[in-house]
A and B are shown apart, each in its own frame.
Chain A
Amino acid sequence: MLFPQQEEFKFESIQELIEYLNSIFSSSPLYRQEIEVIGDVTHAKYSKRGDLYVELSQRVRSSNYSITIIFSQSAVPYVFKHCRIDSEKELLNKRWKFQGIVNFWKREAKYVVSGSSIIPLGASEIEKKKKEILKKLEKSNLLRKVEHELVELDPIKKIAVITSPTAAGFGDFQKNINHSRFIPIVHLYPAPMQGAETVPGIKKALFAILKSGIDYNVVVIIRGGGSKSDLMYFDDFELGSLIAKFSRKIPVLTGIGHEQDSTIPDFVSWKNYSTPTEVSRDIVNQINYFTDTLENLEKNITYSFTNIYSQMENLLSFNTINNIKYYLGRELINLFRTLDEDQLSINRKINQMIESSEKSISLNKLVSIQRFIEYSIKTYNQDIISTTNEIISELKSKFEISERILFSTFQELTKSSPFAAFLNNGVLVKKGEEIIDSVEKLQRKDEVKLIFKDGEADSSIEKIQKW
Chain B
Amino acid sequence: MEEIIKLSEEEIKNLSFKEQLELLERINDYFQNEKQDELDVENALEIYKKALDILTYAREKLVNLKEEKAQIDEKYEKIKSQLSESAGID
A residues neighboring B (CB under 8 Å): 154-155, 157-158, 182, 184-185, 187, 189-190, 204, 208, 211-214, 287, 290-291, 293-294, 297-298, 300-301, 304-305, 307-309, 311-312
Contacts and interface: CB of A to CB of B under 8 A. Distances in A.
Chain A interface mostly helix, strand, loop or mixed? Answer: helix
B44 A297 contact: no
Contact of A157 (B24, B25, B51, B63): B63
Contacts of A190: 83
Contacts of B32: 300, 304
The 9 closest A-B pairs by CB, nearest first: A304-B31, A212-B79, A297-B24, A305-B48, A154-B17, A155-B62, A187-B76, A312-B41, A301-B51
B79 A155 contact: no
B41 A294 contact: no
B71 to A, nearest CB: 9
B17 A290 contact: yes
A290 B22 CA distance: 12
Interface residues of B, number: 35
B8 interface: no
A190 to B, nearest CB: 8
Nearest to A304: B31
A182 B28 contact: no
Contacts of B59: 294
Most chain A beta-carbon neighbours within 10 Å: one of B39, B80, B82: B80
Nearest to A205: B83
Contacts of A293: 21
B61 interface: yes
A204 B84 CA distance: 11
A154 B44 contact: no
B76 A301 contact: no
A182 B41 contact: no
A301 B72 contact: no
B83 A305 contact: no
A311 B83 CA distance: 63
A298 B55 contact: yes
Given A213-B75, A312-B41, A155 B61 contact: yes
A185 B69 contact: yes
Most chain B beta-carbon neighbours within 10 Å: one of A158, A211, A213, A301: A301
A303 to B, nearest CB: 9
A308 B44 contact: yes
